Structure 1
Amino acid sequence: MFNTSHKLTVLALASLAATAAQAQAEVQAQNLPEAAAAVARAHAKAESLVRQFPGLSLDAKDHTYETRRVVTDEDGASHVHMDRRIGGLRAIGADVIVQTDRFGNLATMHRSAKMLPSVASAAALAKVGVTSSRAVGVVVDAFPGGEIQGTPEQVVWARGDLPRLAWEVRVSGTAKDGTPYEKHVIVDATSGTQLDAWDDIHTAAASGTGKTLYSGNVALTTNSVTGGYELRDPSRGNTYTINLANGTSGGSVVTDTDNIWGNNSTTSSQSAAADAQYGTAKTWDYYKNVHGRNGIANDGRGAYNRVHYSRNYNNAYWSDSCFCMTYGDGDGTTLKPLVALDVAGHEMTHGVTSRTAGLIYSGESGGLNEATSDIFGTMVEFYAANASDAGDYLIGEKIMVGGGSLRSMVKPSSDGGSADCWYSGVGNLDVHYSSGVANHFFFLLAEGTNSAYGTSPTCVAGNTRVATGSGSLTGIGRTAAAKIWYRALTTKFTSSTTYAQARAATIAAAQELAATLGADYSAKVAAAWSAVGRN
């Protein structure tokens, strides 16, 4: 939120089939006996670990596991993805990933199902439940004209909070717009209601044009729907944009008939929506292509945008609860619509921080939280290389009425409130102002004291928040600096990290990345922290 008062290696298994035996057979057919043996060992180890935790199910002895894939890290750690059957029934949504270290010790388990029924409960349901023919009838009614494929399969539906016995019915047909469908429909075996449905036909993404407010005319990936297009990107986790139309809730996904979004002016409500969708796409691409992060939560799921929030709202914010960004239109006097590229990168980075370090939003950790968003919002802007919004070290420069910016990383104190230098009371400042210390550090580390982006003074000894020194530093480049900060954020920062701890964390990150970056920049990192008063 803004203060606006001023190499994973796949073990030859990327597409192996469900069971361990089948996976082993397929690998052996490819003359890879060593890999097949590794699959069998990984499966056996993972299953033994799962069975040590009865809390994963109510009746673990009746649960069987089938290896879907095995992934090994470069250091030998493994990730075994296993599907589950309960009493012989396929349990949809009850898959589990068992992660072990290189010594075979359990590191963690990843699962979605909260609780699972025992075979006894499933059998009891089967005696009084909906028949397969009735389940077919439900599907026929829901998809008139569709053709039932194969025989309905009885399954355990474990994707919700309350797992239940269900039927999976497959149906194919043609939608009204001419698009074929191949649906999996889940019908509750007790009530006969439809629980879920999904399609094996994935509609092609379309190439649209966004006529934005701040980034010129840009390419947007959109989604084809009946009658036109919607501002949804299937290639980036289905991230989408909705128009709140000056409300504070509700809204609907922005749609269009010609796949040209906006007119580069606020006279079209689509212009700001195009900015927001573009910002989401560039932030996604930056994190994925530079840091190997697959979406904000690193789970492939896209966040969504809400534009035109309320009236004259002079802010933008990230919300974990909705996993979304919200943008106001500004009051037209101080601020314009807050959908600029660096704002988008800033807000989504709050989501990254909450799912990694979880920096608490107060004191020095709060300043580090805000600075992290400024740092990566800036890096997204540089990454986009958009001539209409060139990269710089100013935050929100596009949204200010009459010029200026919300914050500067070159000299943070130029906004009248932010701190250039660390001092003992800096944690008492508003987090948007205490963030100046880390912003200043990052600029000096990346660019040095004298650069094309301005002269950045160093801090002198003493309890002062404004930099007045004339020391000289040479930067290591913003790409290397961002790699170091990201590693520190994701592997070393905790919820209450202080500036002193951030110094130690980034020095350690630089040492660990020496081979990757081609040099050990730890001395440079230490010097940049000293230059902002944090020794």
Structure 2
Amino acid sequence: MKRKLAAVAVLSATALLTGVIQVSTTAAQAAPTPALQAQAAQQHAAAIALASGQSEPLAKALALGDQERLVAKDAVVDADGTRHLRFERTFAGLPVIGGDLVVHQSSDGAVKSVNKAIAAQVGVPSLTPKIPADRAAADAAGAVRATVGVTLDADESPMAEVHQAGAAQLVVWASDGKPRLAYRVQVEGTRADGTPSRQVLVTDAATGQVLSTHEKVQTAAGTGTGVFVGNVPLDTTQSGSSFQLKDASRGGQSTSDMNNGTAGSGTLFANTSNTFGDGTVSNRESAAVDAQFGAAKTWDFYKSTFGRNGIRNDGVGAASRVHYGSNYVNAFWSDDCFCMTYGDGSGDTHPLTALDVAGHEMTHGVTAATANLNYSGESGGLNEATSDILGTMVEFYANLPSNPPNYLIGELINLRGDGSPLRYMDQPSKDGVSADNWSADVGNLDVHYSSGVANHFFYLLSEGSGAKTINGFDYNSPTADGSTVTGIGRDKAAQIWYRALTVYFTSTTDYAGARAATLSAATDLYGSGSAEYNAVAAAWTAVNVN
């Protein structure tokens, strides 16, 4: 990505420009200055460098084997100097899937505790695979081809075409607590509805058994009825006599027109008036306004709420792409292109650029950059719930008159055609398939439905149980044990969830682990035994996570 920007024109913040959108190329009030962005990026880089410098002594302190190494991935340093250092692990130079851990240190470097994705020691009897790499890659592609005509996920279409992408990589698989030699292969393709697919498969290097599959392109299918955000301010970049939908105050975030194609980055939106869109679907700029505004509000929410400087916390803004494909009824986030992509829906007349779609999907990027929760089983439900939870918080942060914030997911995109939301956080089972409470088989559900347990927990923690009206929306949240839960407010609940995600969750965290992680987060923020701590415990008990 090119980081060099053209000269930026400075317009009066009070100037009302011709048309329906007031646009300013000065930084938004909530956005940090470039100098502060640079300072935050330097501090984050220094924290990761600190973690890298600790990798060898920490490996010894944790009694890792002679062939194990720690590789720094992320670091969080609290105001009091407490450090939370996140590491991936290697064995004999091979990546260890499920070997990630977080080391918590006091300000003087003393280890206080460690969160490990697995408790088992990492080791394999042999580093020689029984299956050659080319066969492993071909078998992985074949496993994906075998799914043609079968729906892979609740909101994903059957595979239309697949092909192997790159050679098979030898790894150590440890996510199930039984380390073994394995291959990791990426298989790319296109689903029948036009959504790109990038599935990462892990297969046993001795037997060929598929151990794990993970779809890197996260989607939220739906249809829209037009432009969602109404009249909004935008930060743009002037280049010569034109103004571009490129936001220098938020890491260079930009929006481009895919012109109904599916390859490349599209054409950056630009015009000479600095006024974009007119609110109609027929004006191609209108969907771009939705996308640019959604990316800006997601950035601002994470920055103002958690001090996070962009999705990866590195000050780099994501790209948005609109008008993707033809009759494409979907939207998706991809880490590979670090971009958010929206289709135009049925008949190319219903762009999927709703704000909660933007917040949900870009939060998948935040999860990938932090805990990287596996996209299957209970950890997959927590991955989806994290996007629902923090995407909902983006909606509350924006507080748009055209889209009053609520605890409903996808209420404006009308996926089912009857005006009902995709998901309900107060009582997830109202969609007919999601789980209200934990049970032993909840991990067998599709991740979009097992997410209901965490969504329900977050609603109870925020608002409490029982019937009530919030912001004009009616809710009635039950509890598994008939208890009455008193909420602590969504702002505190979000702080607890985000800290658990970035400091305590690992790739294999399940619901029991999420309870422990959020209690640790509540202790850090509000104190052990505080009202907030007790509310976290009560809310988890209310969804049968004990």
Question: Structure 1-normalised TM-score?
Answer: 0.59
Residue correspondence of structure 1 range 75-474 to structure 2 within 5 A: 75-76=80-81, 102-103=107-108, 213-250=227-264, 251-331=266-346, 336-400=350-414, 401-449=417-465, 450-452=467-469, 453-460=473-480, 470-474=482-486
Contact conserved, 2:460 with 2:477, CA < 8 A, in 1? Answer: no
For residues 82 and 492 of structure 2, the distance between their equivalents in structure 1, rounded to whole angstroms, comes to: 27
Percent of aligned pairs sharing the same letter: 56
Give the superposition deviation at 1:454: 3.1
Contact conserved, 2:309 with 2:315, CA < 8 A, in 1? Answer: yes
For residues 447 and 301 of structure 1, the distance between their equivalents in structure 2, rounded to whole angstroms, comes to: 34
Give the superposition deviation at 1:404: 1.8
**Could you say which residue in structure 2 is the equivalent of 1:526?**
537
Contact conserved, 2:427 with 2:478, CA < 8 A, in 1? Answer: no
Contact conserved, 2:319 with 2:339, CA < 8 A, in 1? Answer: yes
Contact conserved, 1:275 with 1:341, CA < 8 A, in 2? Answer: yes
3-state SS in 2 of match to 1:305:
strand
For residues 455 and 232 of structure 1, the distance between their equivalents in structure 2, rounded to whole angstroms, comes to: 39
- The runs of at least 4 consecutive aligned structure 1 residues that moved more than 2 Å come to 71-78, 100-107, 453-461, 517-520
Q: 1:389 to 1:429 in 2, by over 3 A?
A: same
Contact conserved, 1:337 with 1:399, CA < 8 A, in 2? Answer: no
3-state SS in 1 of match to 2:498:
helix
For residues 502 and 73 of structure 1, the distance between their equivalents in structure 2, rounded to whole angstroms, comes to: 21
**Could you say which residue in structure 1 is the equivalent of 2:163?**
none
Contact conserved, 1:457 with 1:471, CA < 8 A, in 2? Answer: no
For residues 323 and 403 of structure 1, the distance between their equivalents in structure 2, rounded to whole angstroms, comes to: 31
Q: Deviations over 1:351-383 (max 9, x none)?
A: 000011100100000000000000011000000
Give the superposition deviation at 1:474: 1.6
Matched to 1:75, the amino acid is D
Give the superposition deviation at 1:275: 0.3
Contact conserved, 1:312 with 1:331, CA < 8 A, in 2? Answer: yes
Contact conserved, 2:281 with 2:350, CA < 8 A, in 1? Answer: no
Q: 1:241 to 1:460 in 2, by over 3 A?
A: same
For residues 283 and 460 of structure 1, the distance between their equivalents in structure 2, rounded to whole angstroms, comes to: 33
Matched to 2:278, the amino acid is N
* Structure 2 unmatched runs, 5+: 1-34, 37-45, 58-75, 84-104, 113-225
Contact conserved, 1:241 with 1:277, CA < 8 A, in 2? Answer: yes
Give the superposition deviation at 1:489: 0.4
For residues 251 and 351 of structure 2, the distance between their equivalents in structure 1, rounded to whole angstroms, comes to: 25
Matched to 2:394, the amino acid is V
Matched to 1:534, the amino acid is V
For residues 432 and 455 of structure 2, the distance between their equivalents in structure 1, rounded to whole angstroms, comes to: 15
**Could you say which residue in structure 2 is the equivalent of 1:62?**
none
For residues 280 and 249 of structure 1, the distance between their equivalents in structure 2, rounded to whole angstroms, comes to: 21
For residues 247 and 356 of structure 2, the distance between their equivalents in structure 1, rounded to whole angstroms, comes to: 20
Give the superposition deviation at 1:337: 1.9
For residues 519 and 340 of structure 1, the distance between their equivalents in structure 2, rounded to whole angstroms, comes to: 37
Question: Per chain length, whose mean CA-contact separation is higher, i.e. which structure has more relative contact order (CA < 8 Å, sep 6+)?
Answer: 2
Structure having the higher Rg? 1
Matched to 2:280, the amino acid is S
In the alignment, is residue 482 of structure 1 matched against residue 498 of structure 2? no
Contact conserved, 1:410 with 1:454, CA < 8 A, in 2? Answer: no
Which 10-residue stretch deviates more, 338-347 or 410-419?
A: 410-419
**Could you say which residue in structure 2 is the equivalent of 1:506?**
518
Q: 1:421 to 1:336 in 2, by over 3 A?
A: farther
Contact conserved, 2:427 with 2:476, CA < 8 A, in 1? Answer: yes
Matched to 1:398, the amino acid is L
3-state SS in 1 of match to 2:286:
helix
For residues 460 and 405 of structure 1, the distance between their equivalents in structure 2, rounded to whole angstroms, comes to: 23
For residues 536 and 106 of structure 2, the distance between their equivalents in structure 1, rounded to whole angstroms, comes to: 30
3-state SS in 1 of match to 2:254:
strand
For residues 338 and 477 of structure 2, the distance between their equivalents in structure 1, rounded to whole angstroms, comes to: 38
